[in-house]
Structure 1
Amino acid sequence: MKDIVIVWFRRDFRLEDNTALHRAIEYCEEHDARWVGVFQLDPHFTQAIDSHHDYFFQTVKQFQERCLDMKLPFQVVYGEAVDVFKKVTNELKEVKAVFFNRDDVGYGAKRDEKVREWLESEGIESHDFQDYHLHTGEEVKKDDGTMYKVFSTYYKQWSKQKKPEVVKIDGEMLKKYARSFNEELDEKSSEEFSSLLSQCDREWQGIGEENARKRAEGFVSDRLKDYDNNRDLPYVVGTSRLSPYLKTGCLSIRTLYHLVAEKDNTGVEAYLQELAWRDFYGMVHYHFPTLREEEFHSKYRDLPWNNNDEERLQKWKEGKTGFPIVDAGMRQLNNEGWMHNRLRMITASFLTKDYMIDWRLGDQHFEMKLIDHDESSNAGGWQWAASTGTDAVPYFRVFNPTTQGERFDPDGTFIKKYVEELRDVPSAYIHNPSKMSHEEQVESNCMIGKDYPEPSVDHKEQRKKVLAVYKELS
């Protein structure tokens, strides 16, 4: 019997430029072994299902079907990580090694360590690789070995670092060294996965590696040149919309980096900075493991959040705050599982500064809703908005939701797309519809307080209050 190696897929659902898969095939070539692919359906991520999970599990299903079509071995196995490997190695007696692209932070890092320990106790080799970022938390540091706390200085050093090359995988070798499963390893796993998929509220389009590659190439050829000018305008298709593919690993960060870096236009630098921000927050989370649980700056750990104000929190979640640009952003999130980055900043600032509601509650809500949710970037972004994180916006800078709307959606094009009650409101009032007279409200088919809510707070008053609170702790 041939030796077997397991490729443990987690958030890297692609057959190209996949480090763990590449190294597994190299091992098979060297040892004349065979490989199988496994995805652990973790109970930790199946307790509450929302758009984030819908998208992810449908991506897994699409990858499973693709492997089946290509006669490549891939199975979904339900259970805690160590229990899954017990099941697989009990069925496949000749397992000699496990290859996977590791997690460096959070729950995933702790899970990986448990699996390594169990594999070692069983005499099975484990080979893990950094595949999710361009640079790890250890690669870009100050001369004294400490972490950067300011993005601009981090970016200067990040830019000097040689970027990893794209990993080439021979499709014929994938098939040559594949070892088919005799049958389903666990019938319960198939039933559990089917049950999860049946709970999905919608069928996501454009998922998978092939669509990711097409979208990346289309963005680089068509929209990258205008990225710096258009990225802050939500009514323009100016961003890449590639973040969901990076999250699920249908698109390699290395592939994307080199596609962009090969171009020569004004959008390149701006876009590469966004990729660097992704690495920056990954680095911060690596060195500050409690990034999602506590404020980076200890002086703000006693902020008096209004966490008992369930009514306001719900208004924010539903997009019914009475501030059009905030509501449009939240409704885009609810409808599409994605939100424009400028609106992520606006809605986060509104929750933490206008409502003075804990950034952690916002982070948790975005985790459930965003199909591109990355725990390091999400927590870093929320702490940025709350002025509690590293290189965060100063506490005295409070986004005015009305002027933000006027600046980034001047005619209300984006607002009217997502807040249908306001679609007939004149542009002169679209950012402050409560200023309309009764006659104008009738003419616009939008009665304020009935069809669309009054502003739920007085922004000027809330700004004074929040500044006083932060100043006292600063």
Structure 2
Amino acid sequence: MSTIGMWFRRDFRIQDNTALYEAVMHAKREGSKLLFFYHLDPKFIRKRSNHHLYFFQSLSVFKEELSKIGVTLHLLYGNEQTAFEKLLSDIELQQVYFNLDEVGSGLQRDLYVKSLLMEKKIQVHSFHDSHIHSTSQVVKNDGTHYHVFTPYYRAWLKKPKRKPKSIEAQLLKEVCICVDSLSNGEEILKNTISSSPIKWDKIGEKQARKQLSSFLEDSIYAYHEKRDIVFESGTSGLSKYLKTGNISARTVYDHVSQCYGLGSDVGVETYSKELAWRDFYHSVHYHFPLSKEEEINLKYKDLKWNEDESLFQSWCEGKTGFPLVDAAMKQLNETGWMHNRLRMITASFLTKDYLISWKKGEQYFEEMLIDYDESSNIGGWQWAASVGTDAVPYFRIFNPITQSKRFDSKGEFIKLYIPELRNVDIKHIHEPYKMNDLEQAISGCILGVDYPYPIVDHKIQRERAIELFKTHKSEG
């Protein structure tokens, strides 16, 4: 009897998991047995960031969910060579199934492991799974890729969308096997999770589906109106589940598409477009593989960014003196998540008000975001910094005060994350530096003591940002 390996990576779910579905169908058809495994890489275990700690908590929940239906997820520990050599020495595998990565370090890992397995005469089956459309599916008539979202989106809409595929839990139990000697990463995962300073809740495939149902019932029809209001529950709340693969983008799209004609189609279409943006940035990253370290728009490659580390730290810690920016950064640091409108505002502030490189902000978000998606994060930061593909023009700069008044009009979000400002009158909540001494005393917020004065003048910095780009453009 042959044995098939199912290698999980960032697809912690049973339903609509492409590689898993194909592996199970093969095992059922051929009478093979299926071994589930995940590779714990020491270099990621050592990183104590929100991003990785949340990911490993999600892995642990997935392992528990499988255990409840009688299926073991084996944890292999070590670098790629060590982990896979142990796997192959402990059990004779004929085939390995997995959902591939098309970008970043995941792509390099896949190429290496695939080569290692093929040298051992093991058949490798890899599948596109993490996005609705792969990087090769939405292209121009001449086969080249899109640089601009709008024509990409028009082409994306025309492509048929594959329906989700389901698997019975009983079938998994029947075809899966357990090999006790393989799980040498059990204690390492337990220790990693137990030492995490944040314990997140509502993790896993069941919670992802509950969140999707809640969004479709309560929020999607007003999504276009409320998604930017930072104190409202107007977003889908699905990004962290898509990151860890607790739910597939296909499943989300399939359910969303069924909402057309049942309420505001504008809200439904607006959200569907966000799923297309996710595919678009993934495609851009694939075609610009160096975009994590290099501006896609090469004419801005050598911009002379500000390298003031103290300014950068004030941004990271939420101590800029601009309440909405500071509240957003505190939300990120405390919860590992940030509202999308706030991601744009904080990115614009770092790159256009502080004139600090987008790369530093992108790297900080990588550490702190539990829903960190490399392609979308890079795309978003290069957009805000005006150095990427289809980016905001460099002269269009977010005013942090205007944005604050527009998207947190009553200052509710600000007061939630900055307790020092909770008693500040609404007329000053967006600009506390305008309070006089008496108003400061009444509010219990003394500027320069309880809350900082603005470190920079937005009007001046706006002109400097425009000059930075204009001068560089003329030099280029």
Whole-angstrom CA distance in 2 between matches of 1:337 and 1:408: 21
May I ask how many residue pairs the two structures share in their alignment? Answer: 469
Residue deviations 1:34-88 (CA, integer Å, cap 9, x gap)? 0011111112312321211111101111111122221112111111223222111
Paired residue type of 1:410: S
- Residue 136 in structure 1 maps to residue 140 in structure 2: no
> How many angstroms apart in 2 are the aligned matches of 1:194 and 1:78?
13
Q: In structure 2, the residue corresponding to 1:449 is in which secondary structure?
A: coil
Of residues 235, 239, 262, the one that matches 2:258 is 262
Alignment correspondent of 1:249: 245
**In structure 2, the residue corresponding to 1:372 is in which secondary structure?**
coil
Contact 1:54 1:201 in 2 (8 A): no
Alpha-carbon deviations, 1:275-310, whole Å to 9, x = none?
Answer: 000000000001110111100011101111112x11
2:19 alignment counterpart: 20
TM-score (norm 2): 0.97
Give the aligned residue type for 1:421.
Answer: E
TM-score, with length taken from structure 1: 0.97
Q: Secondary structure at the match of 1:23?
A: helix
Letter in 1 for 2:182: L
Q: Given that residues 384 and 392 in structure 1 are in contact (C-alpha distance below 8 angstroms), is that contact kept between their aligned partners in structure 2?
A: yes
Counterpart residue type for residue 433 of structure 1:
P
Preserved contact between residue 7 and residue 38 of structure 1 (Cα < 8 Å): yes
Residue aligning to 2:115: 117
Identity %: 48
**For residue 186 of structure 2, what is the aligned residue in structure 1?**
190
**CA displacement at 1:191 relative to structure 2:** 2.9
Secondary structure of the structure 2 residue equivalent to 1:35:
strand
2:401 paired with 1:402: yes
1:409-420 to structure 2, matched below 5 A, reads 409-420=408-419
Aligned residue in 1 for 2:391: 392
Between the aligned partners of 2:86 and 2:348, the Cα distance in structure 1 is 47
Given candidates 196, 200, 209, the residue that maps to 1:200 is: 196
Q: What's the counterpart of residue 341 of structure 2?
A: 342
Q: Say yes or no: does 1:160 pair with 2:133.
A: no
Matched position secondary structure for 2:94: strand
Which amino acid in structure 2 is aligned with residue 424 of structure 1? N
Residue number among 220, 223, 226 corresponding to 2:219 in the alignment: 223
Q: Distance in 1 between matches of 2:70 and 2:29?
A: 22
What is the RMSD computed on CA atoms of the aligned residues? 1.0
The letter for the 2-side match of 1:287 is: H
Does the Cα contact within 8 Å between 1:97 and 1:126 map onto a contact in 2?
yes
Write the distance in 1 (CA, Å) between the matches of 2:256 and 2:58. Answer: 25
2: CA distance, partners of 1:113 / 1:339: 33
User: Which residue number in structure 1 is paired with residue 306 of structure 2?
Assistant: 306
Give, as a single letter, the amino acid of the residue that structure 2 aligns with 1:51.
N
Cα-to-partner distance string for 1:13-51 (whole Å, 9 max, x where unaligned): 011111111000111022210001111111231232121
Give 3-state SS (helix, strand or coil) of 1:7's partner.
Answer: strand
Partners of 2:64 and 2:412 in 1: CA distance? 39
Q: Is the CA contact (8 Å cut-off) linking 2:386 and 2:392 kept in structure 1?
A: yes
Deviations 1:368-400 (A, max 9, x none): 110000000000000000000000000001111
The one-letter amino acid of 2:466's match is: L
Matched residue SS, 1:126: strand
Where does structure 1 differ by over 3 angstroms across 4 or more consecutive aligned residues?
Answer: none
Q: Report what 1:433 is aligned to.
A: 432
Are the equivalent residues in 2 in contact too, given 1:82–1:114 (CA < 8 A)? no
Deviation at 1:171, TM superposition (A): 1.9
The letter for the 2-side match of 1:249 is G
> What secondary structure sits across from 2:467 in the alignment?
helix
Q: Distance in 1 between matches of 2:332 and 2:387?
A: 24
**Aligned match of 1:449:** 448
Q: Which stretches in structure 1 are left out of the alignment for 5+ residues?
A: none
For the 8 Å contact 1:349–1:398, the answer to whether it is kept is: yes
Cα distance in 2 for partners of 1:48, 1:33 equals 37
Deviation, 1:186, is: 4.8
Are residue 278 (structure 1) and residue 278 (structure 2) matched?
A: yes
Amino acid at match of 1:320: K
- Pairwise CA distance, 1:125: 0.5
